[in-house]
Structure 1
Amino acid sequence: MSDVPACHTWPVATREELVAEWHQVHRAPPSDDDLLRLWQDGRCAVCAVPDWGSLVEDHDWDTGLTRGMLCRSCNVKEGNAGDVMPWTAFRENPPTRMLGMQIVYVNTFGGPTTRTQVPEADLRAAAGKLHIPYVQQGGYCDDESADG
């Protein structure tokens, strides 16, 4: 895998260019999500593999904003990659930032879209099921010293 996300090598279109291209096929006005998908053309933003049917909307858990569309493999890797390339470059300049968009991520499964929306009790329960210490803001909290 390259140190540069594939989307960083694609020509960046203006909003006007994307809207004009959208209207060649559609009558309804496009959303930013529509324009992002049009620009990515069914390709993963990181590896560029065409995957029209299975691309997933990657989002920033701190802001709740969509970054771009990734194949399932890259989406899983992104969540576990840490500060290494091409993931750092993707996070710093995702497709939505390249195109001047801010798309609020909507979780179609009804769950939280940012870390702050996850109830602490749920985080604690998930950590227990995985047999890992619960990481609380500011340090670790094990079951013996936890309140509740």
Structure 2
Amino acid sequence: MCFTHLDPATRHSLGEQQAASEAAGRLAQVAERLALLSPAEREAVMREEPVCWAWPSTAPTFEEATPGFTEATRRRVEETEQGRAVSVLEHWHGGRCAICGARHAVLVEDHDHVTGLVRGYLCRSCNTREGLDRAPLSAFARYREQHPASILGLTVRYVDPYTGEEAQPLPARPARPTAEERANNPLHAVYRKRAADRAAAASTTTRSAP
């Protein structure tokens, strides 16, 4: 029977069943993801910390990070500091999202838009949520404070995948003028005089009104 033609009680009951089924599905997904994490990673999730905080804090050597490279490829990558740092960062992640620990997910390179530097690798879900979540004590806020690149002491500049250009730091915001600087600014004197003239005119108009 068409859902639209059901009586309100039946529609409500079916709606509750669907909501419960969707909630159970989400819980099953969370349980499945947690089962793949190490005990230390699960503890980090429970403390609302990014799982990368539970990973070893020592960066692998370049040789350890490139076991499958041929000597020619290793020499070519090793020629630049950027290439060495990227290889070490990728190896340290081991295909895992730095925030939720998801394995075998499509990872994207997350970077700080202010500094232009790479922070780590995130699954698409965490990468989207990181840009929206501004709660001060969430796993995303803590990730921004101490991300994989900072844990390993690496500096990796983000490269735009479409243009191939390196991201540059945003220009620093100019400092706000001090009270003394504002007081000595000739424009402020003009604004104060105009305000005083308007106040005087309004006072005159009020007194002359019948």
Task: Calculate the TM-score normalised by the size of structure 2.
Answer: 0.49
1:33–1:95 distance in 2 versus 1, CA, 3 Å: same
**Match of residue 58 from structure 1:** 110
| 2-structure distance, mates of 1:112, 1:13 | 27
| Corresponding residue SS for 2:49 | coil
Q: What pairs with 1:80-99 in structure 2 (closer than 5 Å)? A: 80-84=132-136, 85-99=138-152
| 2-structure distance, mates of 1:94, 1:38 | 15
Does structure 2 conserve the Cα–Cα contact (< 8 Å) formed by 1:44 and 1:51? no
**Match of residue 62 from structure 2:** 19
Aligned length: 115
Q: What pairs with 1:102-141 in structure 2 (closer than 5 Å)? A: 102-110=155-163, 113=167, 116=170
Tell me the CA shift for residue 23 of structure 1. 4.4
Tell me the CA shift for residue 112 of structure 1. 8.3
Structure whose CA Rg is larger: 2
Q: In proportion to residue count, which structure has more strand?
A: 1
| Higher RCO (CA < 8 A, seq sep 6+) | 1
1:19–1:112 distance in 2 versus 1, CA, 3 Å: closer
Indicate whether 1:68 and 2:113 are aligned.
no
| Corresponding residue SS for 2:87 | helix
Q: What pairs with 1:39-58 in structure 2 (closer than 5 Å)? A: 39-51=92-104, 54-58=106-110
User: What CA deviation, in whole Å up to 9, does each residue of 1:84-124 have, x standing for no partner?
Assistant: 4101110011100000101000111238846849xxxxxxx
**Structure 1, unpaired ranges of 5+:** 118-137, 139-148
| Corresponding residue SS for 1:58 | strand
Q: In proportion to residue count, which structure has more helix?
A: 2
Does structure 2 conserve the Cα–Cα contact (< 8 Å) formed by 1:46 and 1:74? yes
| 2-structure distance, mates of 1:18, 1:55 | 22
| 2-structure distance, mates of 1:113, 1:77 | 22
1:63–1:49 distance in 2 versus 1, CA, 3 Å: same
| Corresponding residue SS for 1:70 | strand
**Structure 2, unpaired ranges of 5+:** 1-44, 177-210
Does structure 1 conserve the Cα–Cα contact (< 8 Å) formed by 2:97 and 2:121? yes
Does structure 1 conserve the Cα–Cα contact (< 8 Å) formed by 2:62 and 2:84? no
